[in-house]
Amino acid sequence: MLYYLFDFLDSLNFPGAGLFQFISFRAAMALITSLIVSIFFGKRIINLLRRQQIGETVRDLGLAGQIEKSGTPTMGGIIILSAILIPTLLFAKLHNIYVITMVIATIWLGVIGFLDDYIKVFKKNKEGLAGKSKIVGQIGVGLIVGTILYFSDDVKVHKRVPADYKLQPKEQYVTHQHTANDKDEDYKWIMTDDMTTTIPFIKGNEFNYNWLIGDMDKSYGWLLFIPIVIFIVIAVSNGANMTDGLDGLATGTSAIIGLALAVLAYVSSNAKFADYLNVMYIPMAEELVIFIAAFVGACIGFLWYNSYPAQVFMGDTGSLALGGIIAVFAISIRKELLIPVLCGVFLIENLSVILQVGYFKYTKKRFGEGKRIFKMAPLHHHYQKVGLHEAKIVSRFWIVSVLLAVITIVTLKLR
C-alpha cells in the first residue's frame, strides 16, 4: 500500500519518494519490517498464547528433553504469517499477479495449519485435522496456483532461442535494452506464455511441460501442469511439516532456502542478469523479491524465540505454510526442478519416514516381525536416539542446508 502512496508523491516530485521505485530498497524495508513484527510483536503474541493456555502436548517418545517441552506455547506460526503478510502488503505492488498468488497461497495454507492446531489444542484431539482434509486443502491451493500461472495473461517469460527458431502461437520476438547479447545474431529473444521451466545442470536448460503431451493440442497442457503443481505443493509442504520437530530446525532451514530463492528471483526478474547468466527472464517477478525478503525476515525473527530452548513452537500453522510458500515461489520463478536440491533437508526427512514405514510393513508381512531402518523417523529423531544433542543436530542440518543452497545457486552457471 505504501508503494502507491509514494508513487503518487513521486509524481508530485516529493523529495525521497522515488526510493520506492527501487526493488532493493523495498526489499530491505520488507526485511526490516518483518524482523520488527516477529521480534517485537512476537513476544506479545507468545504471552497471549500462554495466557490462553495454548500449549503443546508432547507424547513421551523417550527423547532427551522432550517432556520439558510440554506446555510450550504453540500456534506461533501466526507470528511468521503476520511478519510475511504485513510487509508484503505495505511494500509490494498489490496488483502484481505473482504477489497475489503468493498471498493467496500463504493465507490458504496458514488457515489449514491453524485448523489443525485448533483441533489439537481446543478440541483435545491429538490427531488434529484429518490427513485427508489436509491433502484436500493442499490440493486446493495447488489447483488455484496452477490455474493462475497457466492461464493468466500476465504470466509470461522471455527466453533465448536460435536465430532460425519458428515462432509458435502466442509467441513474439522482443528486444531488451542494455543487454549486451541482443546484438548477437546467433539467437533472439522471444516472449511466450508456455509453461517453460529450468532443468539444473543441463546446457540449454529449458524444458516445456507441453512437450510431454506430444502431438496433443497444447491448449490441454494444463491437464499435466496443474497436477505437477499440486504434487510439488503437497510434497514440500509436508516435508517442512516433518522437519518441524526440533527447536529452530524448520525455521532456520526455511530461512536459508528463502535466501537462495531471493537470489534466484532477483536474477530471473532482471533482464541484465538473465541475459548474462543465460536464464529465462520473467517480467514482473521482481515483486517476488520483496515477498521473499519478508519471508526470510519472518523466519529469522521467529528464531529469536524458536531457537533452543524454544519459547514457542510454530505448529502446523507455520510449518505447512512455510513449505507451501517455498513450493509456490519456486514454481513461480520456474525453478521447481531445483527443489530436490534446494530443499534436500525436507526431502530426506520425508524419505526417512516413507522408508521407515515401508520397510516396517514389508518385513512384518514377510517375516512376521516389523524391522526398522532408523531408530526413529523422521531422521532428526534418529540422531537424537543415537545421543546427539538437539542443538548440534539442528546446527548440522543448517550447515547441510547452506551447502545445498550454494549448490542450487551455482547451477545458474554449472551446466
Q: Is residue 347 part of a domain?
A: no
Domain final position from 220, 246, 267: 220
Domain final position from 337, 356, 378: 337
- pLDDT at residue 65, rounded to an integer: 55
Q: Do 35 and 110 fall into the same domain? A: yes
Domain final position from 293, 311, 337: 337
Whether pTM exceeds 0.85:
yes
As for how many domains the chain has, the answer is 2
42 forms bridges with which residues in the sheet? none
- pLDDT at residue 37, rounded to an integer: 95
- pLDDT at residue 182, rounded to an integer: 52
Q: Do 226 and 139 fall into the same domain? A: yes
Q: Do 295 and 246 fall into the same domain? A: yes
Q: Is residue 267 part of a domain?
A: yes
Q: Do 168 and 94 fall into the same domain? A: no
Q: Is residue 409 part of a domain?
A: no
- pLDDT at residue 63, rounded to an integer: 65
Q: Do 206 and 235 fall into the same domain? A: no
- CA 248/CA 86 separation, integer angstroms: 23
Q: Is residue 364 part of a domain?
A: no
Q: Which domain holds residue 9?
A: 2-58+66-153+222-278+285-337
Contacts of residues 172-177 at CB distance under 8 Å and 24 or more positions apart, as own/partner, are 176/271, 176/275, 176/281, 177/271
- pLDDT at residue 181, rounded to an integer: 53
Assigned C-alpha cell, 82 = 503476520
Q: Is residue 358 part of a domain?
A: no
- pLDDT at residue 367, rounded to an integer: 86
Q: Do 44 and 78 fall into the same domain? A: yes
Q: Do 172 and 272 fall into the same domain? A: no
Q: Is residue 376 part of a domain?
A: no
Q: Is residue 349 part of a domain?
A: no
Tens digits of pLDDT across the chain (415 residues):
787 887 778 778 888 788 888 899 999 999 999 999 999 999 999 998 888 777 666 555 666 555 556 678 888 999 999 999 999 999 999 999 999 999 999 999 999 999 999 898 888 787 788 888 999 999 999 999 999 998 888 888 887 777 777 777 677 888 765 555 555 566 777 887 667 888 877 776 677 777 776 655 556 778 888 999 999 999 999 999 999 989 999 999 999 999 999 999 999 998 888 888 878 889 899 999 999 999 999 999 999 999 988 999 999 999 999 999 999 999 999 999 999 999 999 999 999 999 999 999 999 988 888 899 999 989 999 999 998 999 999 999 999 999 999 999 998 877 6
Q: Do 21 and 38 fall into the same domain? A: yes
Q: Do 192 and 233 fall into the same domain? A: no
- CA 230/CA 144 separation, integer angstroms: 9
Q: Do 231 and 214 fall into the same domain? A: no
Assigned C-alpha cell, 395 = 546446527
Scanning 166-314, the segments in alpha helix (DSSP H) are 222-243, 249-268, 271-277, 287-306
Assigned C-alpha cell, 51 = 495466557
Q: Do 97 and 138 fall into the same domain? A: yes
Q: Is residue 384 part of a domain?
A: no
- pLDDT at residue 190, rounded to an integer: 80
- pLDDT at residue 179, rounded to an integer: 57
- pLDDT at residue 9, rounded to an integer: 80
225 Cβ neighbours under 8 A, 6+ residues apart: 146, 149, 150, 195, 209
- pLDDT at residue 6, rounded to an integer: 74
Q: Do 255 and 196 fall into the same domain? A: no
